[in-house]
Homo-oligomer: A and B are copies of this chain.
Amino acid sequence: MTKIRDSELLERFGDHLKGIRTGKGLSQEEVAYRADIPINQVGRIERGEVNTTVSTLFALAKGLEVPPAQLLSFEPSLSQG
């Protein structure tokens, strides 16, 4: 128990976000500004350091100009739990 964080999932999620961002040619700063969240937070999320929240997901979707659901559209791991 005391799982809570789940590093592998968060790293993959971060990579997915970064892929969307770079695919659009946006900097972390631009995304942070549009999403109205600190640039440091964008970096931490992309690096998989934090397990971000629903409200931040919606903010990021706005900043990245994609539907929120797209942020969760990726393969979470090699083997499903």
Q: Is A69 in contact with chain B by the CB < 8 A criterion?
A: yes
Q: Range of interface residues on chain A? A: 20 to 34
Q: Is A20 in contact with chain B by the CB < 8 A criterion?
A: no
Point out the residue from B55, B57, B72, B81 that lies within 8 Å of A62, measured CB to CB: B81
Q: Are A68 and B58 neighbours in the complex by a CB distance under 8 Å?
A: no
Alpha-carbon gap, A6 to B57, bound state (A): 12
**How far in angstroms is the closest Cβ of chain B from A56?**
8
Interface residues in chain A, defined as those with a beta carbon under 8 Å from any beta carbon in chain B: 3-6, 9-10, 13, 51-55, 57-58, 61-62, 67-73, 76, 81
Between-chain CB contacts (< 8 Å), 24 pairs: A3-B55, A4-B55, A6-B55, A9-B54, A9-B55, A10-B54, A13-B54, A51-B54, A52-B53, A52-B54, A53-B54, A54-B57, A54-B72, A58-B72, A61-B72, A62-B81, A67-B72, A67-B73, A68-B72, A69-B70, A69-B72, A69-B73, A71-B72, A72-B72
